[in-house]
Structure 1
Amino acid sequence: MARGVNSISNRILHRRSVRRWEKLAALADGLDLAALRLLRGRARQLRQHLDKVLHVAEGRLTLPLIGSNAFQKPLYSDWAYRPEMWRGPMGTPGRAAVETKSEFGEEVTVFHDCRISELTVRQVRNTRESDLAPFGLRMDVFRFDGSFLSLVIELPSSSVDGLKRKHLVRMTTVVEMEKPLEIFARLNVQHGPNKEQIVRELPLDQDEVVVEFDLAYTKMNEKRVDRMWVDLVFENPEMSQVILRDVNFSRRPRAEV
């Protein structure tokens, strides 16, 4: 396919097309309105295809590579995962006036109790040299008349396969904030009709934030575990911007004493 794109005939056609649109652009100021309207329609049709090519090319050629699940894992980890929001492009990259229970893909859901939503959520492409995740998630909060804002991350079924009370579950995230604010992570483990919760405050005085949840302090029934998810809770988020450059998870058995 690369040879076809770079064939002599394609190069000639491309040069002719560029010259044609250069001439049309130069003539645009002097065209009557009917001709200009027709030219605008053709230009928009062409731009639609050009934008698609640029979007795909920039996504695939920019580092880190789309789909990357590479990140540093603790020694003896038996499960590790980067959610799809930070791994690959979403069908809907962003929304404004986000309503509560809005879903972004199959794993991320936003919850809040605002009467009027002035919350914007958008997936952004990571391009910094230090970034390991291909994508990040940006939240812009303007006026906030609610009492809570949380981001729920559903973990896959593989996260609870063989899950034991001897496990430590680690969450690693890279956070950028416009102004200081508190963020809490709450691990939820569903076992039968019961649910265990462990809450940790994110230490936001470092670039890469790591929190661990020790399941030894729960009453989890190992034989009935069927689901695990994490709530990220943002305290007093009004007039702030938060970018989660990466969120990833891993688990490992605690060292035997």
Structure 2
Amino acid sequence: MSLINSRILSRLAHRRVVRHWAALARDAGTTGLHRLRQQRTMARELRAQLDALIHDADNRLALPLLGNTAFRKPHGSDWSWRPELWRGPLPVPGMSSVPNGKMLGDEVTLFHDCHFSELTLRQLRNQRESDLAPYGLRLDVFRFDGSFLSLVVDLPQGALDGLQKKHLIRMDTIVEMEKPLEIFARLNIRHGPNTEQLVRELPLHESEIMVEFDLAYSRLNEKRIDKAWIDLIFEGPEMNQVTIRDLTFSRRPRAEL
């Protein structure tokens, strides 16, 4: 009840302040110069605070909303997902000299075979008007003495529930790079003792970076599926900075012929 009263009093006070300054503005043409000079000083002090508030409010309100799960997905999708790293702030937003197998958050792991790691991972706040994802991921690679570098994203249980060979799994992403490199996406689905793998190269030269995995071309045992993950494999990553602004997944059944 006290919170409601406080809000009511705050609105009433705001209205009184607005009426006060509106009256001063109306009378500015006839107000004495000494008094008018005082009012101008007060108005400038007030405007400085208002401008600061408006500036910060505009910046924050222009950012993508935290926890946003909205993104464009194909018609007929029966599952869709944006990983936590791209949805909201992580307790540990970044790390340097990242060792092999180190996780950032609960769903993303970096794998490599470097003898000496000169790799950094950092979650960053997206600020572009075109971004739907609140956060992005930046990978900095300096000297690279390994033979492979991959970022693994574990898919949730929802991706596995009801998964069949008739399904298409789609991955959409927004990627920025300092210099060109090749990135491959590999879908891994473990069923019993076996793991099915489907590999696609990301079309980084296209405006829409999307790949689809057609499970009809796999030997998937639908009754024994227990885990799935995506490998993002970076070829020739040395001395490069890669920013993944968004990463989303969706699933839909293939149209019947």
TM-score (norm 2): 0.77
Look up the SS of the partner of 1:158 in the other structure: helix
Look up the SS of the partner of 1:223 in the other structure: helix
Superposed CA offset, 1:97-128 (max 9, x none): 11111101110000000011110110010010
Written as runs of structure 1 = structure 2, the 5 A alignment for 1:117-132 is: 117-132=117-132
Aligned to 1:151: 151
Q: Give me the whole-angstrom Cα distance separating, in 2, the residues matched to 1:58 and 1:115.
A: 46
Superposed CA offset, 1:51-105 (max 9, x none): xxxxxx9997452101000100100000000000101111100111111111011
Look up the SS of the partner of 2:164 in the other structure: coil
Aligned to 1:256: 256
- Does the C-alpha gap of structure 1 residues 123 and 207 become closer, same or farther in structure 2, counting only changes over 3 Å? farther
Q: Give me the whole-angstrom Cα distance separating, in 1, the residues matched to 2:58 and 2:141.
A: 28
Residues matched between the structures, number: 208
Aligned to 1:111: 111
Aligned to 1:207: 207
Preserved contact between residue 81 and residue 248 of structure 2 (Cα < 8 Å) = yes
Written as runs of structure 1 = structure 2, the 5 A alignment for 1:34-183 is: 61-183=61-183
Q: CA deviation at 1:207?
A: 3.5
Aligned to 2:238: 238
Q: Give me the whole-angstrom Cα distance separating, in 1, the residues matched to 2:99 and 2:125.
A: 23
Q: CA deviation at 1:149?
A: 0.5
Look up the SS of the partner of 2:198 in the other structure: strand
- Does the C-alpha gap of structure 1 residues 179 and 170 become closer, same or farther in structure 2, counting only changes over 3 Å? same
Look up the SS of the partner of 2:161 in the other structure: coil
Preserved contact between residue 175 and residue 207 of structure 1 (Cα < 8 Å) = no
Q: Give me the whole-angstrom Cα distance separating, in 1, the residues matched to 2:60 and 2:88.
A: 10
- Does the C-alpha gap of structure 1 residues 239 and 145 become closer, same or farther in structure 2, counting only changes over 3 Å? same
TM-score (norm 1): 0.77
Q: CA deviation at 1:247?
A: 0.4
Gaps of 5+ in 1: 8-56
Q: CA deviation at 1:208?
A: 3.0
Gaps of 5+ in 2: 11-56
Preserved contact between residue 62 and residue 129 of structure 2 (Cα < 8 Å) = no
Q: Give me the whole-angstrom Cα distance separating, in 1, the residues matched to 2:216 and 2:132.
A: 31
Aligned to 1:187: 187
One-letter amino acid of the counterpart of residue 247, structure 1: L
Look up the SS of the partner of 2:158 in the other structure: helix
One-letter amino acid of the counterpart of residue 240, structure 1: N
Q: CA RMSD in A?
A: 2.0
Preserved contact between residue 175 and residue 208 of structure 1 (Cα < 8 Å) = no
Superposed CA offset, 1:199-228 (max 9, x none): 000000123300000000000001111111
Q: Give me the whole-angstrom Cα distance separating, in 1, the residues matched to 2:248 and 2:86.
A: 8
Look up the SS of the partner of 2:139 in the other structure: strand
Q: Give me the whole-angstrom Cα distance separating, in 2, the residues matched to 1:60 and 1:70.
A: 19
Q: Give me the whole-angstrom Cα distance separating, in 2, the residues matched to 1:234 and 1:59.
A: 34
Look up the SS of the partner of 1:151 in the other structure: strand
